[in-house]
Structure 1
Amino acid sequence: MDITLVEGDITAEQVDVVVNAANSSLLGGGGVDGAIHRRGGPAILAECRALRASRYGRGLPTGQAVATTAGDLPARWVVHTVGPVWSATEDRSPLLRDCYANSLAVADDLGAVTIAFPLISAGVYRWPVDDAVRQALSVLRAATPTNLTEARLVLFGPDTHATAKQIHATL
Structure 2
Amino acid sequence: MAKVEKIANDVAAAQGCVLYDIEFVGLGKGRTLRLFIDREEEGAISIEDCTNVSRGLSEILDADEEMIPGGEYNLEVSTPGLDRHLKKPWHFKKAIGKKVYIKTTKSLESMGVEDKKWKSAKTVEEVLESADEQGVRFVVKDVEIKIPYAMIDRAKLVFEYTKGQKK
Q: Taking structure 1 as the reference length, what is the TM-score of the superposition?
A: 0.24
Which structure: greater strand fraction?
Answer: 2
Which structure: greater helix fraction?
Answer: 1
Q: Taking structure 2 as the reference length, what is the TM-score of the superposition?
A: 0.24
| Structure number, greater radius of gyration | 2
